[in-house]
Amino acid sequence: MTRLIYDVSMSLDGFSAGPNQSPENPMGDGGEQLGEWRRELAAFRKKYPFAGLEGGVTNASTAVFEDDTSGAMIIGRNMFGGGHGPWGDPPWDGWWGGNPFHVPVFILTHHPREPLVPHGDQPFTFVTEGIRAALEMAQRAAAGKDVLVGGSASAAQQYLAAGLLDQIDIHLVPVFLGEGLRVFDDAALSAITLEQGRVVEAPGVTHLRFRVVR
Amino acid sequence: MTRLIYDVSMSLDGFSAGPNQSPENPMGDGGEQLGEWRRELAAFRKKYPFAGLEGGVTNASTAVFEDDTSGAMIIGRNMFGGGHGPWGDPPWDGWWGGNPFHVPVFILTHHPREPLVPHGDQPFTFVTEGIRAALEMAQRAAAGKDVLVGGSASAAQQYLAAGLLDQIDIHLVPVFLGEGLRVFDDAALSAITLEQGRVVEAPGVTHLRFRVVR
């Protein structure tokens, strides 16, 4: 059964990005610290050559990083980038020069656009019909594997509030960002029941897993 | 050397109490869930008879609960209770019928009041001269042991922002409160550097420790 999983790196004060996000500053001020645990892994550097990093370490985070059950991904417009509003001419094609995620990616947006199929990579599909339509498309594409909601706090909150998330994987990073994009900031969340899953202590991060009880 | 430690039970969405706190509802709506990991411990029930609970369990939280290095405690007016403003006549003497904490307790308040010495218990001292004065008094009273900041998010944030906290112990509870008192909600926090300490996975709670790097 395909599950819907929210995977997010979060600061101790609850942010997934710092303030002043922009095309030049996609994670916001200080936000790049949230990805450091991942970027230093040899496994990450090998899987994502776009990052331009070699070498790296192997530690308790490696097994967490490699335990990737996803067959498709849903992200918000914010994570795909290119600012707000229509896509422009030439349109923004993502931060990465291709699709680095090795799975089909579905992007929630208000602005219609033809699918983008980077040469040799899995497609980016732009979905304007809302979160349920994106989930159905991603589930078909995942072909029995899980669907990951990445990056955007607002996309994940919509899925969570709609009762559609099955699991939340939080990579808790010991930094304060002070301001930015709050991961959990919705009064409606109090209706949701969680069950604590495994905890993995690793250098500079604690990996926490929670299951949503239906 | 006396350290200043903030000890708080926090929801996954970052609250230490739910909305609608009042004398009848001291933890706010849903907030009592944050203390369940502690209340179910046999060690807690034995140490705090005021809770009126017997029996209880022993689990991975027991060692965390028993590892109490504090010799004095600082709390906010909110945790001591009795609403806002002057103390009233007869004055509010706390929720507990005595001082249940087994150490001298210093209460930050804007309203002066003589110390309260419950029969056979350690004193409650009311401090109107601010957080540094309360810390000095608590450190003297702790006589070489640690000082704990309990309960009030705003008191702890003042100590943290002033660079006076040495350690943060978070008991992360897998619930969403949706609204309430945010533990970390201050742009100035981004200036603080943390170091991750031990992690303890226990039933219904994860115990996280962070050291503040000076």
Instruction: Please calculate the CA angle B152-B182-A29 and round it to the nearest 5 degrees.
Output: 125
Q: Does A189 touch chain B (CB under 8 A)?
A: yes
With bands split at pLDDT 50, 70 and 90, how would you rate the model's confidence at B178?
Answer: very high
Consecutive H or E run containing B141:
helix B131-142
Put simply, the answer to whether B179 touches A201 (Cβ < 8 Å) is: no
**Could you report the per-residue pLDDT of B34-57, keeping only the tens digit for each?**
999 999 999 999 998 888 899 999
Q: Pick A174's closest partner by Cβ from B195, B198, B204.
A: B195
Query: What is the phi/psi pair of residue A75, to 5°?
Result: -130, 165
- Selected residue of A170, A184, A200 to mutate for chain B interface (largest B Cβ count, 10 A): A184
As a whole number, mean pLDDT of residues A36-61 equals: 94
Q: Does A31 touch chain B (CB under 8 A)?
A: no
| Nearest-by-CA chain B residue for A179 | B187
| Nearest-by-CA chain B residue for A182 | B13
A89 pLDDT above the threshold of 90: no
Put simply, the answer to whether B201 touches A204 (Cβ < 8 Å) is: no
Put simply, the answer to whether B188 touches A210 (Cβ < 8 Å) is: no
| Nearest-by-CA chain A residue for B169 | A12
**Could you report the per-residue pLDDT of B125-151, keeping only the tens digit for each?**
999 999 999 999 999 999 999 999 987
As a whole number, mean pLDDT of residues A9-23 equals: 93
Question: How far is the alpha carbon of B103 from chain A, nearest alpha carbon, in Å?
Answer: 29
d(CA A96, CA A82): 12
How much of chain B is helix, strand and coil, in % rounded to 5? Answer: 25, 30, 45
Q: Does A178 touch chain B (CB under 8 A)?
A: yes
Contact A153, B169 (CB under 8 A): no
- List, in order of start, the domains of chain B with CATH numbers: 4-213 (3.40.430.10)
pLDDT more than 70, % of chain A: 100
Contacts of A193 in chain B (CB under 8 A): 175
- Selected residue of A27, A36, A176, A186 to mutate for chain B interface (largest B Cβ count, 10 A): A176
Residue B142 Cα distances to A97, B53, B138, angstroms:
59, 28, 6
How would you class A127 by CB atoms within 10 Å of its CB: exposed for 0-12, middle for 13-18, buried for 19 or more? buried
With bands split at pLDDT 50, 70 and 90, how would you rate the model's confidence at B152?
Answer: low
A132 pLDDT above the threshold of 80: yes
Residue A85: the pLDDT is 83
Contacts of A18 in chain B (CB under 8 A): 190
Contacts of A176 in chain B (CB under 8 A): 184, 189-190, 192, 194
Residue B131 Cα distances to B72, B109, B113, B128, B135, angstroms:
14, 10, 16, 9, 6
Q: Pick A204's closest partner by Cβ from B170, B191, B196.
A: B196
Strand-pairing partners, residue B148, are: B5, B73
As a whole number, mean pLDDT of residues A130-143 equals: 96
Residue A29: the pLDDT is 95
Contacts of A184 in chain B (CB under 8 A): 12-14, 176
**Could you report the per-residue pLDDT of A181-201, keeping only the tens digit for each?**
999 999 999 999 999 999 999
Q: What is the pTM of this model?
A: 0.92
Residue A58: the pLDDT is 98
**Could you report the per-residue pLDDT of B73-117, keeping only the tens digit for each?**
999 887 887 777 888 888 888 877 789 888 999 999 999 999 999
Q: Does A32 touch chain B (CB under 8 A)?
A: no
Instruction: Please calculate the CA angle B182-B186-B188 and round it to the nearest 5 degrees.
Output: 155
Q: Average model confidence (pLDDT) for chain B?
A: 92
Residue A152: the pLDDT is 63
Task: HSE, CB side, 13 Å, CA atoms: give it for residue B97.
Answer: 5
Structure tokens at A202: 């690793």
Residue B26: the pLDDT is 82
As a whole number, mean pLDDT of residues B30-35 equals: 96
A88 pLDDT above the threshold of 90: no
Contacts of B18 in chain A (CB under 8 A): 190
Residue A32 Cα distances to A39, A57, A93, A110, A173, angstroms:
10, 18, 21, 27, 11
Put simply, the answer to whether A194 touches B12 (Cβ < 8 Å) is: yes
